[in-house]
């Protein structure tokens, strides 16, 4: 039996988590012990799975995959966004998933945890860090990137359902995409869409993987990240030195 399955809603989340969990001794950043069971270690490439129906599928059908994996993994983390089209209240999302995993996939409650990212996973990667500019292949320094984002606003391309940049103009209700005095952008997902399009930097999953493999999460206070950390500390406690 393997120690841990990470079951996530999309490839961007999978890329982010693989980038982090592929670091050497990543568990030390989480304050837990190695993620292993009877000599079998967690493998980020094999043990992170994506639900083909994304967030709605995680809500309505988490059990098909987990039933098949019930005897293959000791623990499972189910990770999805809170914000998606047609999403019910956050408490209902978590409650419904927990009920389906127990009743339909037949997992005991202590073997799995549901982590709801509020508002979106993209908030995790937005740090004022040089690695962010490098991952997006921005043609300038990281300082120039922050100035650029403070001068741009986001506008939704309704035909493609993607966000694109237009010059910021607060008087026209086009506020900056990421003001320099704000810790995080107001629309982290839209900012990823617009900047990756502007820089022609390729799939977001690759960008997320590159960023998460380099940036520090030591001071991260995001509620979802802290829940992930605390759960892994409980399941895989830090070993005492002899």
Q: What is the DSSP pairing of strand 112-117 with strand 73-81?
A: parallel
User: Could you write out the DSSP letters of every residue in 200-242?
Assistant: T---HHHHHHHHHTTS--TT---HHHHHHHHHHHHHSPPPPP-
Residues near 58 by beta carbon (within 8 Å), at least 6 away in sequence: 7, 9, 51, 78, 80, 97
CATH class of 2-123+215-235: alpha beta
Which pLDDT does position 218 carry in this prediction?
Answer: 64
Q: State pLDDT tens for residues 109-133.
A: 999 999 999 877 788 788 898 999 9
pTM: 0.82
Return the higher-pLDDT residue of 54 and 219.
Answer: 54
Query: Which two three-digit tokens encode residue 176?
Result: 């900056």
**Across 51-55, 188-192, 213-217, least confident range:** 213-217
Query: Which two three-digit tokens encode residue 1?
Result: 């039996």
User: Structural domain boundaries of the chain?
Assistant: 2-123+215-235, 138-200
> Collapsing DSSP states into helix, strand and coil, what is residue 155?
strand
């Amino acid at each position: 039996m393997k120690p841990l399955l990470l079951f996530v809603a999309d490839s961007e989340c999978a890329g982010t988590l693989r980038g982090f969990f592929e670091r050497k001794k990543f568990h030390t950043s989480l304050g837990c012990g190695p993620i292993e069971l009877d000599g079998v270690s967690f493998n980020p490439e094999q043990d992170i799975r994506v639900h083909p129906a994304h967030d709605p599928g995680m809500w309505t059908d988490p059990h098909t995959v987990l039933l098949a994996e019930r005897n293959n993994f000791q623990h499972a983390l189910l990770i999805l966004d809170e914000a998606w089209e047609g999403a019910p209240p956050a408490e209902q999302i978590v409650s419904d998933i927990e009920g389906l995993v127990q009743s339909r996939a037949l997992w005991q409650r202590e073997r799995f945890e549901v982590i709801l990212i509020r508002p979106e996973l993209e908030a995790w990667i937005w740090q004022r860090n040089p690695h962010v500019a490098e991952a997006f292949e921005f043609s300038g320094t990281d300082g120039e990137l922050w100035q650029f984002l403070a001068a741009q606003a986001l506008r939704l391309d309704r035909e493609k359902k993607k966000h694109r940049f237009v010059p910021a103009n607060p008087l026209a209700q086009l506020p900056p995409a990421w003001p320099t005095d704000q810790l995080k952008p107001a629309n982290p997902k839209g900012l990823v869409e617009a900047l990756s399009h502007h820089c022609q930097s390729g799939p977001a999953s690759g960008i997320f993987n590159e960023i998460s493999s380099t940036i520090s999460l030591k001071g991260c206070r995001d509620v979802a990240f802290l829940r992930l950390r605390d759960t892994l500390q409980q399941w895989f406690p830090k070993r005492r030195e002899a």
